[in-house]
Amino acid sequence: MAGSELTNIKSPRVKAARRLTKRAFRDRDRSFLAEGPQAVREALALDGVVVELFATAEAETRHADLVAAATAAGVPLLRASGEVMAELAQTVTPQGLLAVCRFVHVPLETAVTPGSTLVAVLAHVRDPGNAGTVLRTADAAGADAVVFTDASVDPYNGKCVRASAGSLFHLPVTTGAGAGRVAQHLKDSGLRVLAADGAGELTLDDVDLSGPTAWIFGNEAWGLPEDILALADEVVRVPIHGRAESLNLATAAAVCLYASARSQRTAPAGVRRPAPAG
């Protein structure tokens, strides 16, 4: 059991967890917060990721299975008052469970290998909700990895973690590499690099997606800069058949990733596109 209840928002344990809402402290401590039962469940499925678990008395009862799993894994359980949980949580209505977790990302060379067939790359994506949703979509589409370039949002941002709905803990995530290095490694690993951009000359219907593919997605407001578009083998747009001006980033990513996933799953067995020349 957690023992006495934490009620002081200024206690050292609470302050240490609270500071993880800021990127500088996350980077320093190599730790972040995962809020809510779904995120906590997925985090606990990975050995050694959860450092400690805060839970209100109500949540401890409601989610007894998660508390038991944490206890069995040797994770310290800290019972928190509603006031303390409100101080730690980054949502309007906290669900009463919050885990302090270790970073889970891996090096680029580990995340993307010659066996990878579908990869999502986020370049200059600044909105954490969009980024987390793309991560979740990539997971659902069966992607092998998600790459956050050095100019993109922190995947451990609280809103990004929540938007990923646990997918942050499901597939390899790599961060920090520049777009040029990422593109070259993707090509060296045998993936065709496609940039999703509304100004692309080719549409999604024009491109053979049956082979190993990496999609680069950019900032929703201004798209991908020219230097990143130049890194791609092709620049592809999602066709707009109605009167909408455009699709938002997460929706466009879903269309592209699922188009690739479908093509790859319906391609003849053993077919693999060779790495592009050059």
Rounded Cα gap, residues 118 and 114, in angstroms:
11
pLDDT at site 165: 95
Architecture of domain 12-102: 2-Layer Sandwich (3.30)
Tokens of 235: 């620049």
231 and 180 in contact (C-beta within 8 Å)?
yes
Q: Name the pTM for this structure.
A: 0.90
Nearest to 254 by CA among 120, 115, 105: 120
- Considering the chain, tell me which residue range(s) the CATH 3.30.1330.30 domain(s) occupy: 12-102
Mean pLDDT, the chain, whole residue set: 92
- Tell me the per-residue pLDDT of 73-96, one tens digit each, with 9 for 90 and over: 999 999 999 999 999 998 888 999
What SS3 state is found at 24?
helix
Nearest to 122 by CA among 57, 168, 55, 65: 168
Every domain of the chain with CATH number 3.40.1280.10 lies at: 108-266
Helix (H, G, I), strand (E, B) or coil at 149: coil
Question: Do 131 and 148 form a contact (C-beta atoms < 8 A)?
Answer: yes
Place of tokens 């973690």: 161
Residues of the chain with pLDDT under 70: 1-3, 268-278
| DSSP H helix total and E strand total for the chain | 12, 11
**What is the CATH number assigned to the segment(s) 108-266?**
3.40.1280.10
Given this model, what pLDDT does residue 275 score? 45
